[in-house]
Each structure stands twice: as C-alpha cells, then as structure tokens.
C-alpha cells in the first residue's frame, strides 16, 4: 500500500465521503486538525491485515512467555529438589 495521505479536516470535507472512501481503497488517509492527526480512514482489507498482524504478534508473545515460564520454573520431585539443593532427606528431616 502507498504512503499515507494527510488531509486537513476542511480539505477532507470539501472532497466528500465518497472521495475519501475511494482514496482509502488505495492508501491510508490521515485527517488532521490544526496540524494534529485526528482520524484515519483505510480500506477494510488493510484494517483486517493490520488487525491480523497484531493478533498474530500478541499470540506469539503469549506463547513465548508461557514457554519461558515453563523453562524458568521447572517442577521437581522431592528427591530431585534435594539433589538440586545439595542436601539429603536425612539433613532436612533432622531439622
């Protein structure tokens, strides 16, 4: 898709809604007011593509976070924990 087109609110109003819709089929239209971005008009296809990319990225982040938690916080049996900690069951039981 082409670079976004910036239009002032007054210019967008002069062109009309139909013209904005036609422009949005080809490129994103950013409407400004006093030099500040206030609205974005884009095609449904571009919107869905952007939304899908965001959802995919969020899912990847969540999956990786889950994987990191599993790797970082491994569960041990009691005997494995003793071994990792370098103690014996007798030492722990005697305290």
Cα 82 from chain centroid? 41
pLDDT band at 1 (very low <50, low <70, confident <90, very high): low
Whole-model pTM over 0.85: no
- In the chain, domain spans: 2-42, 46-89
Model confidence at 43: pLDDT above 60: yes
Is 12 in contact with 29 (CB distance < 8 Å)?
yes
Separation of alpha carbons 42 and 90, rounded Å: 70
Inform me whether the pLDDT recorded for 94 exceeds 60. no
Distance between CA atoms of 17 and 9, rounded to whole angstroms? 12
What's the rounded mean pLDDT across residues 19-39?
96
């Amino acid at each position: 898709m082409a670079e976004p087109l910036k239009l002032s609110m007054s210019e967008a109003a002069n062109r009309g809604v139909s013209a904005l819709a036609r422009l949005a089929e080809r490129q994103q239209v950013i409407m400004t007011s006093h030099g500040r971005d206030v609205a974005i008009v884009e095609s449904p296809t571009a919107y869905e593509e952007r939304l899908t990319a965001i959802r995919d990225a969020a899912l990847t982040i969540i999956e990786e976070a889950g994987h990191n938690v599993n790797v970082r916080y491994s569960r041990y049996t009691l005997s494995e924990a003793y071994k990792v900690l370098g103690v014996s069951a007798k030492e722990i039981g005697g305290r």
